[in-house]
Structure 1
Amino acid sequence: MKKIIIDNAKTLIFAFLIALFIRTFFFQPFYIPSSSMEESLLVGDRLFVTKFTYGYSKHSLPFSPNISDKRILFSSPERGDVIVFKTPEDNDTDYIKRLIGLPGDKIQMLNGVLNINNKPIKREFIKNDFVLCGGTKIKSNFYQETLPNGKTYLAAYSEKNSSKDTDVYLIPQNKFFFMGDNRDCSQDSRYLSSVGYVDKINLVGKAQILFFSNNEEIGNLFTFWKWHKSIRFNRILKFIK
């Protein structure tokens, strides 16, 4: 009996170490709790983030142990990537946003249009629809925006508060500027006191693929009799743009 207990304990420890290794160096699952990235990412989405895409830092490890302030095997992210990062405010909370500004860039909102390095980005009106914001549905205009490197995505702008004009944000070296696709419902780099510019050390990984999605307004994983309505089957195993 004692041998069985020891063998089972060894198996569990071995399995835990393998899972920890994979989570630290390769893939980590994340859950989307807010609507700041709608409609690219919805509340209830579950996705995998690749940890190796931008190299590794202390934030690659569980609990972000303060062992080093350097990033190893660093590979610079591309404009338009959807990235999980630790907020500069506490270096603990995970945020997921779209990378808009690279080191040395000038970012500004003018007349509700995103400007990068003094040039308005290309955008095309797609539809007028509702978008979720803090539990409330807000009528918004959706545009397909095209960044200077050709990356495209849908961004939502509230009819009532379409991203007012801002000062120019000059991105420091080794820092990055992030925005949520749900422009008027996103706490992001525009808010310098809480998020602001994100250091490359704080990058956790690149969002790559949705592996599951559930509409929690309809039901959860325990209300199996509602799965046919709550599970978003069209979002399962979907690559993130």
Structure 2
Amino acid sequence: MRRADRLFLIINALRGRRTALPARQLAITLEVSLRTVYRDVADLQASGVPIEGEAGVGYVLRKGADIPPLMFTAGELEALVAGTRFVRAFAGERLAREAQAALIKIEAVLPPDLRERAAQSRIFAPIWRDTFQNEVAAMLDRLHEAVLAHRVLCLDYTDAQGRSSTREVLPLCLSFWGGAWTLGTWCRHRDAFRNFRPDRIASCRESGEVFVDQPGRDIAAYLVTMHTHYAGLE
């Protein structure tokens, strides 16, 4: 976890509290040592954040320094928790970590009753990954980075009929269909939009080329095409 994120979480964990929050509890929540908590709190105090208390006693924000917390209904909160759990279970490792960090920040600013409601959500997405699933998660991370950076990819791919081919593609998006992920692309070999399943990609190489969106070959055109005439999986 980045230090800036830790400092944010410490401040928000103290918001609205009437009693001191022990440093040990902060350490457990942030998964850091007590020494790190002490140092971070001291740095916040030195920078002007009105935190009162000391090591061994606990910390509170000075009265009048608090601001209203984020407000969610119980249903909205449960949706956020469920969404985070699904991302952790089925997305790539990087996105899963980011989703978990986001949820920690949200929970840090919730009133105690809603924080307890979040902890008691009965919607789960168990993480039971084997070696193959870990490899798919790593592939999703690589594909996600290529989508964000507009990097042209060369894919060694095996389709549903067991036929192998090499494709040069412009990666446009990743989609999750409830049972499988697909990489939405403009395929230069087919000169058309095509979807590829990450679990069928034998290897993925960057060509060294960065592409620029072009009308008719960009994400907007892809979404229209998928909506009006689903091209199917290669």
Larger helix proportion, structure 1 or 2?
2
Higher relative contact order (CA 8 A, sep 6+): 1
- TM-score, scaled relative to structure 1: 0.19
Max Rg structure: 2
Larger strand proportion, structure 1 or 2?
1
